[in-house]
Amino acid sequence: MRDFIFGLYLQYPELRDKIEALTLVNDPVALTRVLRKRITSLKRGRRFIDYRASFDFARELEAILADIESGLLECSPEHAFELVDRFLATAESVLNRVDDSGGAVGEVYRQAVLVWLTAAKAWRDANINWLERIDQLYQQNDYGVLDPLLPNAHLLLTADQLKQLARHQQLAECFYDGLLRLAKAFEKADCNLAATACYRALLLDILAQARSKAYGHGVRYYKKLEASAKQIKVFKPLPTHDAFVQQLQSDHGRKKSFWARLES
């Protein structure tokens, strides 16, 4: 059997990662080391992956995720969590170099979110503030691949933590809705500077929270700011429009999907 497996290893290079993972299934430390290297290579990758190649690439990502689930999730959830956490951290660098028009690559990362929650629950390290960790992870949701995180937070959080999360979301929505109403009122009254302050705050909130589903609104606010800037002669006490845009690009330039929408 050993010779047969070795023959497959030599004859089919595309199976090597899977075979290696299978041979280490009883050694979680060694398997973690191997999978960590595969994940690191994702983050370091520079080659652009076009639309046609994106589906094969997605299968490579699925294989890594499957090896984490089958090899570590049950026997060593701490190692499984560490790896899937590293895996999710590659999302931005990977999606920056992939034409994922078909959505196959993004879908693997969405699946990884559920594995992250499942591994965290199985590990359940009492020294970690899981509510805070969920919030930190969600801030990285530039491409929307972390959208399943909040709707499935019940897989990990306690009832009390879920209530805290819900209150946090409710307060954020109240702040946002109130500020939007204020912005519209100032705009209607031709108070351009006050409206600008409100629309800037709304845009910054969307980008700071990495709320990718609201990027369309953010683009609309940006264009309102551009239009208002032409009507404003004195911006004090606010920074000028050019200064605001420069700071926006400095702080949020890596949110590629927002800027792509703005340019489309």
Does 127 lie in the same domain as 75? yes
Percent of the chain whose predicted confidence (pLDDT) is above 90:
60
pLDDT in the model for residue 159? 92
Does 89 lie in the same domain as 173? no
Does 259 lie in the same domain as 188? yes
Does 110 lie in the same domain as 14? yes
**Final residue of a structural domain among 157, 191, 210:** 157
Averaged pLDDT, 54-81: 94
Query: How far apart (Å, rounded) are the C-alpha atoms in residues 244 and 128?
Result: 37
Q: Which domain holds residue 97?
A: 2-157
Nearest one of 219, 188, 185, 187 to 202, comparing CA atoms: 219
End-to-end CA distance of the chain: 56
What DSSP string describes the chain?
A: -HHHHHHHHHH-GGGHHHHHHHHTTT-HHHHHHHHHHHHHHHHH----B-HHHHHHHHHHHHHHHHHHIIIIITT-HHHHHHHHHHHHHTHHHHHTTB--TT-HHHHHHHHHHHHHHHHHHHH--TTS-HHHHHHHHHTT-TTSTTTTTTTTGGGTS-HHHHHHHHHHHHHHHHHHHHHHHHHHHHHHTT-HHHHHHHHHHHHHHHHHTT-GGGHHHHHHHHHHHHHHHTT-S--TTSPPHHHHHHHHHHHHTT-HHHHHHHH-
Q: Give the residue, 28 or 66, on which the prediction is more confident.
A: 66
Does 233 lie in the same domain as 142? no
Does 187 lie in the same domain as 127? no
Query: How far apart (Å, rounded) are the C-alpha atoms in residues 187 and 3?
Result: 76
Instruction: Give the tokens for residue 27.
Output: 């050694």
**Final residue of a structural domain among 140, 157, 174:** 157
Does 60 lie in the same domain as 34? yes
Quick: pLDDT tens for 150-162. Answer: 999 999 999 999 9
**3-class DSSP state of 62:** helix
**Final residue of a structural domain among 104, 129, 157:** 157
98 beta partners = 49
Does 202 lie in the same domain as 148? no
Does 180 lie in the same domain as 114? no
Does 232 lie in the same domain as 152? no
Count of structural domains, the chain: 2
Quick: pLDDT tens for 235-246. Answer: 999 999 999 999
For residue 58, the one-letter residue type is A
Does 184 lie in the same domain as 83? no
Does 105 lie in the same domain as 217? no
For residue 253, the one-letter residue type is G
Quick: pLDDT tens for 141-188. Answer: 878 899 899 999 999 999 999 999 888 888 888 888 999 999 999 999
